[in-house]
Every structure is written in structure tokens, then in C-alpha cells.
């Protein structure tokens, strides 16, 4: 059975993801519980996993309530294990989770936080990267270092172009606006801004995005050195 991916908007601009395949279900970064529980109850689905990318409240806020209603395991980075509500097991880059026949690989991507991880499904060509890589942007450095975040983005950049990137926030329009300050005459960026703005005006999501497009247009993936990346990241902090 092919993997089904459902996107649930939450809070102001968060996305929660529900993965379902072969009767198995996982939730990624549940900031809230109400809509998730309603979604599962409507379909009478059990829940196998809650998968957290990092410890920030807008990614783990629904953990406790969901686990009280559903028997499931909560996974996160071993570096974050003590800071993740109801966490059962800490994961490292060597670990693999299975959802039916779907293999989920763990990728350590610190920088935004010290214990940030991504969930990568190579057979399905999908990546859930939390707040490390956004559509046309990347996360701020809160606990880690610029070097860590740059290296983490290089790990993501090494994945195949056809990988679908599921980030955790709807930031695309503002990210493209920033990219245009760096390359104001770029017609492709101008077109992407028009497309993203139109989608948002219709209440549609701009996520996921192809990693190949991110490599081509995202200024943080286009940066060719750590120094260039630092400069752009600091500019974005003040944008």
C-alpha cells in the first residue's frame, strides 16, 4: 500500500503531518491534539508513533493528550529525550523505524536546536525536516551553531532532487520576499512569489516542495560557503 500523507494546519502557521500505510499510522510534530484525535477517530485508525523533530512547544504540545487517548510510542532525538513530553525512546542517526513496509531513516540535523532530527523515507522520497529547512528558507539558530545548521543543510542537500520536503511551517511567501532582496531581477523567483501568494489567498498550502527546486532557488541551499551562509542567515534574522 502506498504511503498516505495528510497535512493538518495548526496554531498560526504550523503543519502537523499524519502518515498512514498498511494499517499503521504515525504523527509528526503534533503541536495540538484536538484536530489530530478527531482525524483519527473519524477513520477509526490506531496510532503507532508520535515522531517529534525537536523539543519546541509548537511541535510537541499535543504529545501528552494524544498519548492519553491512543496507545503509541513517542520518539525524538536522544539529545532531546528529557525535554520531549511522554518520550519513550531517543533516536540517533543510526536508527530506523518501520511503518508497515515503509522505512523511516533518522538524520541528525542540529542547528535550529541542539537535538533536531529529520525523518526520511527513501522508498517514498519524502523528508520531514521540522524547522531546519523551509520552503525557500531555513530555521533560525537558537541552541546550535551556524556551522551545525550549515552542515545539516548540506546533509539535506545531498538527498535526491525528487525528494518531497515537508517542513513544519507556512513561511514560503515571506521567504521568497527575502530571497528577492538578494536577487531582485530573478524572474523565476518573482513567478514563485506570485504563485505562492495566490495559493495563500485561496487558503491553500505551499508545502510540500521538491528538494530540487530548493537547491535551485533557496538562498540557504545555494550558499557555497559557511561564511556566505552566515551572512545570509544574519540578514534574514533582521528581515
End-to-end CA gap in the chain: 44
Report how far residue 62's alpha carbon sits from residue 36's, in angstroms, rounded to the nearest whole number.
9
Residues known to be catalytic: 54, 56, 58-59, 112, 131, 169
Secondary element (H or E) of residue 178: helix 172-182
Give just the sign of the alpha carbon dihedral 16, 48, 64, 59: negative
Is residue 139 within 8 A of residue 110, CB to CB? The reply is no
List of long-range contacts for 37-42, beta carbons under 8 Å, 24+ apart: 37/65, 37/66, 37/69, 37/70, 39/6, 39/8, 40/70
Bridge-based pairing of strands 102-108 and 117-121 is antiparallel
Amino acid at each position: 500500500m502506498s504511503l498516505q500523507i495528510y497535512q493538518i494546519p495548526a496554531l498560526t502557521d504550523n503543519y502537523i503531518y499524519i502518515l498512514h500505510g498498511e494499517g499503521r499510522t504515525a504523527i509528526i510534530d503534533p503541536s495540538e491534539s484536538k484536530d489530530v484525535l478527531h482525524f483519527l477517530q473519524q477513520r477509526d485508525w490506531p496510532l503507532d508513533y508520535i515522531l517529534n523533530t525537536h523539543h519546541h512547544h509548537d511541535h510537541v504540545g499535543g504529545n501528552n493528550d494524544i498519548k492519553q487517548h491512543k496507545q503509541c510510542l513517542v520518539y525524538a532525538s536522544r539529545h532531546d529525550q528529557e525535554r520531549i513530553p511522554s518520550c519513550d525512546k531517543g533516536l540517533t542517526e543510526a536508527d530506523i523505524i518501520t511503518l508497515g513496509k515503509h522505512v523511516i531513516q533518522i538524520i541528525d540535523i542540529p542547528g535550529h536546536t541542539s537535538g533536531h532530527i529529520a525523518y526520511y523515507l527513501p522508498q517514498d522520497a519524502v523528508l520531514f525536516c521540522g524547522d531546519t529547512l523551509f520552503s525557500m528558507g531555513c530555521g533560525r539558530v537558537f541552541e546550535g551553531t551556524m556551522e551545525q545548521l550549515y552542515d545539516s543543510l548540506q546533509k539535506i542537500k545531498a538527498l535526491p532532487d525528487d525528494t518531497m520536503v515537508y517542513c513544519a511551517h507556512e513561511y514560503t511567501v515571506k521567504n521568497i520576499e527575502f530571497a528577492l532582496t538578494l536577487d531582485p531581477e530573478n524572474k523565476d523567483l518573482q513567478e514563485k512569489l506570485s504563485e505562492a501568494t495566490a495559493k495563500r489567498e485561496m487558503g491553500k498550502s505551499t508545502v510540500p516542495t521538491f528538494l530540487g527546486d530548493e537547491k535551485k532557488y533557496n538562498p540557504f541551499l545555494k550558499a557555497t560557503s559557511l561564511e556566505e551562509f552566515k551572512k545570509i542567515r544574519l540578514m534574514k534574522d533582521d528581515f
